[in-house]
Amino acid sequence: MSSEDSVLIVGGGPAGLRAAVDLAEMGFNVVLVERRAELGGAPIRWKYHTLAPDMRPTEEVMSPLIDACKSNQRIKVYTSSVASSFSGSPGEFSVEVKGADGSSSTHRVGAIIVATGFEHFDARVDPRYAYGRAPDVIGINELEGMLRSGKIVRHDGSTPRRIGFVFCVGSRDRSTNPWCCTVCCGVSIKQAIELRRLLPDSQIYMIYMDIRTWGLWEKLYWDSMEKYGINYIRGRVGEVYYTGEKLLVKGEDTLVRGPIEVLFDMLVLAVGMEPGEGTRQAARVFGLNLNEYGFLKPRQPNIHFDSGVGGVFLAGACVAPMSIEEALEEGSAAAMQAAKVLIRSSKQRVPI
């Protein structure tokens, strides 16, 4: 495997997988490095049931990419591994890959794509929500696993009748993360619709700061009210108490400008997206810039693939919060940029 026809990709989530498959289909070799034991990123790790806005089963989107990366002879996969060092210039990089088992290998590649994804906000950081202390307070990432199993149960095995969602947990909050995660409103609404399908007698309340269902995701919002009878409360949660039987949510209704107290059987927190250690580690290794929030900073704000380091490209939620469909598109865009580097490099080596 020579550097002039090879690309190293850091991150085996949606963006990294898409980039790997695209490059292999163009005839290039790929070294795919994933720090976790499995490919697929957050959708596989948290067992996402369906994807917004069309509720397409996650496996229909992710499984073909994962299978292609595992079976394509042009793609060499390293799991439980990280890129630990690199040197060289575009067209002639040398990258060391280290495994969790202590193994080490060096790869000559012409270009690099960093697609290290995101982590869900850990709601234990904000004590208002009693996450990790009170039973039946869960994140939207954890609810996905329940939806996938078809079993929505409380800690005692009973079925919840009244379920609340709290939007913007770890998002749009200067005490935690000031940015909007862009997708949690839509994902929460998708999940509420799925809950009503599974539990038709349930009552569901959405406590929101603002509803941000961009583009075609807006249909989820209207359907949730008109077809599924889901209730919306514009407000802010001040504190969550466990009464011994139920969850008491105290806060403010910001429309009527008055206090609210609501009892729930289950509370779902729309936890946001934030950079993970994989992104910080990649930034250190490849000399990439981080923005004020810890995401990888492209040279131009609206051109995500341009890292500012020659021959190194960015893709996916390591740059900014985004949907899976956007991450897939960014993976393809980064693959095209990497291919251009390899093609230019090979032409320069042709003797005259």
Tokens of 212: 């941000």
Judge if 106 and 137 occupy the same domain: no
Judge if 216 and 308 occupy the same domain: no
Tokens of 162: 């009244």
Residue 268 · residue 134 · CB < 8 Å: no
Q: Is the pLDDT of residue 345 over 90?
A: no
CATH of the domain at 70: 3.50.50.60
Judge if 266 and 304 occupy the same domain: no
Judge if 67 and 181 occupy the same domain: no
Percent of the chain with pLDDT over 70: 97
Q: What element of type H or E holds 144?
A: helix 140-149
What pLDDT digit, counting tens, does each position of 219-239 carry? 999 999 999 999 999 999 999
Beta strands 266-271 and 137-139 are parallel
Instruction: For residue 162, give every residue at least 6 positions away whose Cβ sits within 8 Å of its Cβ, in sequence order, or none.
Output: 202, 203, 204, 205, 263, 264, 265, 266
Tokens of 327: 């991450």
Q: What is the pLDDT, as a whole number, of residue 301?
A: 85
Query: At residue 10, what are phi and psi to the nearest 5 degrees?
Result: -105, 110
Q: What is the mean pLDDT of residues 277-304?
A: 96
Q: What is the mean pLDDT of residues 126-131?
A: 97
Judge if 295 and 309 occupy the same domain: yes
Judge if 125 and 232 occupy the same domain: yes
Q: Among the three residues 221, 244, 273, which one is the final residue of a domain in this structure?
A: 273
Judge if 209 and 340 occupy the same domain: no
Judge if 196 and 131 occupy the same domain: yes
Q: What element of type H or E holds 9?
A: strand 6-10
Residue matched to tokens 């380091």: 309
Q: Among the three residues 236, 256, 273, which one is the final residue of a domain in this structure?
A: 273
Judge if 132 and 238 occupy the same domain: yes
Q: Count the Cβ atoms, other than its own, within 10 Å of residue 293.
A: 13
Instruction: For residue 198, give every residue at least 6 positions away whose Cβ sits within 8 Å of its Cβ, in sequence order, or none.
Output: 147, 150, 152
Domain that holds residue 57: 3-118+275-349
Q: What is the pLDDT, as a whole number, of residue 348?
A: 67
Judge if 157 and 281 occupy the same domain: no
Judge if 127 and 269 occupy the same domain: yes
What pLDDT digit, counting tens, does each position of 36-58 carry? 999 999 999 999 999 999 999 99
Confidence of residue 350 (pLDDT cuts 50, 70, 90): very low
Instruction: For residue 109, give every residue at least 6 positions away whose Cβ sits within 8 Å of its Cβ, in sequence order, or none.
Output: 3, 6, 7, 8, 31, 93, 95
Question: CA end-to-end span of the chain, whole Å?
Answer: 24
Residue 168 · residue 212 · CB < 8 Å: no
Judge if 105 and 125 occupy the same domain: no
What is this structure's pTM? 0.95
Number of domains in the chain: 2
Candidate from 84-88, 165-169, 265-269, 297-301 with smallest mean pLDDT: 297-301
Q: Is the pLDDT of residue 159 over 50?
A: yes
Q: Among the three residues 238, 273, 308, which one is the final residue of a domain in this structure?
A: 273
Beta strands 111-114 and 312-314 are parallel
Tokens of 342: 């390899």
